[in-house]
Structure formats: structure tokens, C-alpha cells
Structure 1
Amino acid sequence: MERRSFIRTTGIAGVLAAGAAPAIVQAQANVRWRLASSFPKSLDTIYGGAEVFAKKVSEMTGGKFQISVHAGGELMPPFGVVDGVQNGTVELCHTVPYYFYGKDPTFALGAAVPFGLNSRQMSAWMFEGNGLKLMREFYAQYNFINFPGGNSGAQMAGWFRKEIKTLADMKGLKFRIGGFAGKIVERLGGVPQNIPGGELYQALEKGTIDAAEWVGPYDDQKLGFHKVAPFYYYPGWWEGGPQIDFFINTKAYEGLSAEYKAIVESASAYAHVDMQAKYDARNPGALKQLVAQKVKLLPLPKAVMDAAFKESMAVYSELSSSNPSWKKVYTDFANFRRDQNLWFRFTEAQFDRYMQSAKL
């Protein structure tokens, strides 16, 4: 029976007697959650995505559903947030899935892999392809459900203390590079380092690392990398469209009413779009300012790109032979990527190429 009709015909006493009250009360209940971020507060774009989400949830529930947002290191280490959600220490986190490729490389497919999808293609795979379905099946074994919660768009290749002229310059390079892409850098002769964003400047300044990638001009300028590493390379071939996720503890999520679940879904979608809009709007001005400060803006040599592509495809083939979870998700991902690139080749790529060469 439809809920409102049931209430009208039986009255509240009848509702209570029928045992239907808990669901109705639950829909109006006050909820308090804690969110652990992997990012420092200084980054109003990527850390701010969690604040945007929490604000929308509060607004859509009249303040009855409150989520407190905690920066990386406040409640747990930046790379400890998945364990925190999995064991119920916090109800949810906001992070980049590829940080946790050490648990299983399949995590990386929920964010970005080298020579993967751009941000629009990633959203298409998630929402209209099989991406969300496949990743949720995979994440279920870790006791959480994911919701897309942002994307930076294609990233820069990062800041280098010395110039990269040939593939040989990658040998022995101590390079902070997030997650899965470190596997490829290692095969190129580099030494990948997985360091939280808030610790990068000091490591680069002291020479503990030789190079560092983060996101792009807006965030990079805030972190001050241009002060200690003069060479700014592009493109970040490992992050054509990296997705940031909200991971929510399964028990906590299932404890929500249907209405609150719908609000979580809507708020995460809003935060997802909002983050990339901010990056796209803010990166151009930041890049102009960096170049004005004599930053040396350079493309990665083609030999480096070609070698990275070759090694990436080899790694994917090896993983498909040894990891059933990876094979299941990557097979669908790769097929989707092939069709997307066919389409974008005739539309976005041609339009962008013309507009970028036009004298406006």
C-alpha cells in the first residue's frame, strides 16, 4: 500500500500497530557522520569537494544530516582512510582510489590508469557504461560503496629539479607519483615515491625527491612547487581524467532511509561536477602567473611518452593474466576506451585542435 494512503486510512495509531513507524521516523532522523579526507585543507578544490558534498547534504535535509569533514591526518593518515571506512572507524572518506592499488591494482581503474580515459569519458563509463556497477561489485569485498565525487581533468606531468631530455634521464629519478602510475615509472628506470600532498614541498625542497606531480597549476601554485623545481612538464599521461570518490561504509549507508540515500547520491553528483568546473576555471589564470614567474613549461619527450605507453600496455596484459578482478573490470574499461577514442577523434579532438590554433 502507498505510504501516504496507508497513513490516511489507518491513522498514526494504526501505523504504530502495524510496525511501519520505524521507516517513517528514520526518514526524519538526525544523522551525524564523520568524513576523513586524504587531502590538506589548503587545497580548496580537491579537499573542498568534501565540504561541498557535506553542505549539500545538510541543505537538502534541513540540517538533519550533518557530515563533519576532517583533513588528511586529523583522524587518520591520508592513506589510511580506506581502512578507516572498511572497519567503521568513520562512516565515509573522500579520496582517490588509485592510492590503494597496493591492496589490489583494480582500485586504480576507479580513478585513473596511464593512457586511460579523459574526465568526460570516465564519467560516461561510470554513469552510462558499466563502470559504477563493476567498481561497486569490486568494492563490496572491502565493505564500502562508492560515489563519484570529483575529477580534476587531465593533469600536468609535474615539477622536476632537472630537465628531462631523453628517456635516459628517467633512470634513478626519485619521482613522487601517485598510485598505480608508479609501476610504469619504475619500469622506465625511475624510483616512484608515494607521498601525501601536504608533505611534497618539503621533500622536493630538501632533495629527498627529484620530481613531484600533484594536479595542475591552481593547486601546484598553492603548494609552491615552482619555488624549488623550475621545470614544469606536461601532459600527465597517467591521469587523463582521474576520479575522486566518496567511499561509504556499507552498514552506515544501508542504515540510511531511502530519502537520505537519494540525497547522498544527488549531493555527490553535484560535488563531482563542481570540482572539475573549479579546476577548469582556475587553472588558466594560475598557469599564466607561473609562466610569468619564469617557470619553464615543457612537453615530455616523445621517447618518454612512447616508452610509458608500451610499458603500460604490457602491465595491463600481465595483470589480466594474473588478477581475475582486474581482468573483469579492465576488459570492459578497454572496450569503452576504444569506442570513446573513435568518437572523440572526429569531434572533440578536431574541434579542440582547431580552436587552440585559431587567433582569438
Structure 2
Amino acid sequence: MTFKTTIKIGASVCAGALLALSAGTASAETTLRLITGWPSTSFFNVPLEQFVEEVNERGEGLVQIRLVGGPEVTPLSEQIGSLELGVNDMWYGTISAFQQRIPEARALVLSDYTAPELRERGSFDMLRPFFDEIGLHYLGYFGSGYTFYVYLNEEPTRTEDGGADLTGLRLRAPFLWHPVMEHLNATPINVEVAELYEALSRGRVDGYGWLDIGLTDFSWQDYTRYRIRPNFWQGDVSVLVSQEAWNGLEPEAQALLTEIAIEYEVIAHDYMIGLEQTETQALYDAGMEDFDLSGDAAEAYLAAATDAL
């Protein structure tokens, strides 16, 4: 073997070794499995689906998200546990679903600031350590833009101090709402969302507590004549990533997910505002009127809603 041949063979071996090393150290594309707290047809999933599309387009070769489904795949009560078990990597839903584990997250519901304002104020940086403690990374807040009201099918009694007395009225209300209903002297009862229209039509309930969006999806405007104001609370829809999955991502992937989440906090907020405007107009067109509380009565009403959390 000549000296030149030996040099060529050595060069080829070195080149091959460098290629193998490069291939071994190149960032591999990571796919994250995401579970949502709502069925696939829910309007709540619209910003999420757009977020996923954006990540998959801009994160090609780096990070992808696969939306695996909602409660039909994993019951809501088990969804956070599925992140802890590594079955899923990301979750989209309302923090209220497991508020007892992170009571500090109540700050989102009680806030008067939009998602962009909260981020600018550093609120998420303050909140994130509480999620870290239970193995979750707080990625984004898609919940500002909608709020909550009490709706009635008949005009309430006006009290002397400018409040409302719902004595004798039965209102559909989850447990979280009970202090609000009891403040109004209403009787809270448990009725499944799918059964509420029939309950309203048959007079089994006289009203309900709900968001300012989504009513017309169930045709509840047929039996909604009054809405008590002021409104209270704020949405707390959030995107979480299991800490294990987050730590396993390349820094570039973490940066990209954070960047797109920040963009979609604004998009989600505007989307919810648009839904609220359309929904409110539809309710007015169907004959709904606002019943405004005033003075100390309004303040006491809001205090009851705050204390409920």
C-alpha cells in the first residue's frame, strides 16, 4: 500500500467518523402529546388548534405537537395525572379543574388584567414556581377575554340597597358557585349541562351561573330573560407541559414554544372577546335584559364571588 493510498483511507475514515458524530449530536425532532379538557367540537379548542398548527409549522425538525383528543380519550379528572405518568406531555384546560393542588392559581381567575398585561407585569414568572413544585411547567395563559354571570328566566326582586333577592329561585350551579347563589338567597342545584335546557323548559330550574360565551350553543337564550351585573371572575384556560417533557426539550424548542405561546395569548384573548360580543348581541336580540346591582350591594356581590374562590 502506497503512502498516498494510506492518506486517502485515513481521510475517508476521519470524514466518516465526523459525519457519524454530527448525526449523533444533531437535535432530533421531539413530538409532544397534548390532551385538552374539552371535546373536539368545543369552541374553546379553536385557539389551541391554531397554536398547535403554528408550532408544527415553525417547529419542523425541532418540536411537534400531536393533539390526542379530549375527555373522550382521557377523563378530565385523570388528565393532569396522565402528564405525571408520562402518558401525555401537554395539557390545555381550566386550572379550576384541579385548583386544590395549586391554590395560588386563583390569582388568574380574580385578575382584572389581560394575558398580555399579566405577562408584561411578570405575573407568570411569579406563578410558575408553584407549578414547578408539582412537576408542571406553566407555558401560556389563553383564558383572559371571557367572564361570568348569573342568568335568570324571570326578573329578580330589587332590594332597598340596590341588590337582588332570589329567594325561592332554584339555579343550576356547580359547587364553586354556591357562595354566590347563597348570597342572592337562591337555592343552588346540580344539573348536568346537557340537561339544562330541558330543566329550564320544564321549570325545574329558574336560572344558572355561566360564562358570557357558549349559551347559544345550547339554545339557553330561549329561557334567559335577565342577566345580573356586575360580572365577576375571569377565565383561567392555560397550557401546561410536564416538567419532565419540558426539560427533555432542546433550548431552541423551549424558546420556540414560549414565543408562540406568547403570541397566542393575544390571539386567544381577542378570539374570546369576539365570541363575547357576538354572544351578548344574540342574547339581547332574544330579549335578555341586564339587571344591574348598585352601591354597596354590588360590592358585596363581588366580594361573595371572590370569597367563593
TM bracket (short chain): 0.7 to 0.9
In 2: Cα distance, 1:43 partner to 1:79 partner: 18
- 1:147: which partner in 2? 139
TM-score (norm 1): 0.67
* Gap change, CA 1:140 and 1:188, over 3 Å in 2: farther
Deviation for aligned residue 1:137: 0.9
Q: Does the aligned pair in 1 maintain the 2:39–2:72 contact within 8 Å? A: no
- 1:297: which partner in 2? 289
Which 10-residue stretch deviates more, 253-262 or 185-194?
Answer: 185-194
* Gap change, CA 1:230 and 1:248, over 3 Å in 2: same
1:251-282 alpha-carbon deviations (Å, 9 max, x no partner): 01111111111121122122211112223334
* Gap change, CA 1:168 and 1:177, over 3 Å in 2: same
* Gap change, CA 1:212 and 1:88, over 3 Å in 2: farther
Which 10-residue stretch deviates more, 65-74 or 248-257?
Answer: 65-74
- 2:88: which partner in 1? 90
Within the alignment, does 1:76 sit opposite 2:74 as a pair?
yes
1:40-189 to structure 2, matched below 5 A, reads: 40-44=39-43, 46-62=44-60, 65-109=63-107, 111-113=108-110, 116-119=111-114, 122-125=115-118, 127-166=119-158, 167-169=164-166, 173-176=170-173, 179=176, 182-186=178-182, 189=185
Deviation for aligned residue 1:306: 2.2
- 2:227: which partner in 1? 232
Q: Does the aligned pair in 1 maintain the 2:197–2:219 contact within 8 Å? A: no
1:151-206 alpha-carbon deviations (Å, 9 max, x no partner): 34252414323433344316774443585x655545655566788xxx52423532
Letter in 2 for 1:205: E
In 2: Cα distance, 1:182 partner to 1:39 partner: 24
1:243-322 to structure 2, matched below 5 A, reads: 243-294=236-287, 296-302=288-294, 304-311=297-304
- 2:31: which partner in 1? 32
Q: Does the aligned pair in 1 maintain the 2:169–2:206 contact within 8 Å? A: no
In 1: Cα distance, 2:144 partner to 2:129 partner: 25
Letter in 1 for 2:269: Q
* Gap change, CA 1:21 and 1:71, over 3 Å in 2: closer
Letter in 1 for 2:59: T
Deviation for aligned residue 1:87: 3.2
Deviation for aligned residue 1:249: 0.5
Higher helix share: 1
In 2: Cα distance, 1:68 partner to 1:194 partner: 35
* Gap change, CA 1:224 and 1:172, over 3 Å in 2: closer
RMSD: 3.4
In 1: Cα distance, 2:139 partner to 2:188 partner: 29
In 1: Cα distance, 2:97 partner to 2:258 partner: 23
* Gap change, CA 1:160 and 1:312, over 3 Å in 2: closer
Gapped regions of structure 2 (runs ≥ 5): 1-13, 159-163
Gapped regions of structure 1 (runs ≥ 5): 1-9, 317-360
Within the alignment, does 1:215 sit opposite 2:211 as a pair?
yes
In 1: Cα distance, 2:251 partner to 2:79 partner: 26
Q: Does the aligned pair in 2 maintain the 1:155–1:235 contact within 8 Å? A: no
Q: Does the aligned pair in 2 maintain the 1:98–1:178 contact within 8 Å? A: no
Deviation for aligned residue 1:285: 3.4
Percent identical residues: 15
* Gap change, CA 1:101 and 1:298, over 3 Å in 2: same
- 1:200: which partner in 2? 193
* Gap change, CA 1:214 and 1:59, over 3 Å in 2: farther
Q: Does the aligned pair in 2 maintain the 1:204–1:211 contact within 8 Å? A: no
In 2: Cα distance, 1:212 partner to 1:12 partner: 70
TM-score (norm 2): 0.76
Deviation for aligned residue 1:304: 4.9
Letter in 2 for 1:301: L
Deviation for aligned residue 1:15: 8.5
In 2: Cα distance, 1:36 partner to 1:159 partner: 31
SS in 1 for 2:47: helix
* Gap change, CA 1:278 and 1:310, over 3 Å in 2: closer
Deviation for aligned residue 1:138: 0.7
SS in 1 for 2:279: helix
Letter in 2 for 1:87: L
Letter in 1 for 2:286: Q
Q: Does the aligned pair in 1 maintain the 2:116–2:265 contact within 8 Å? A: no
Letter in 2 for 1:262: A
Higher strand share: 2
Deviation for aligned residue 1:14: 5.3
Compare CA radii of gyration and give the structure with the larger one: 2
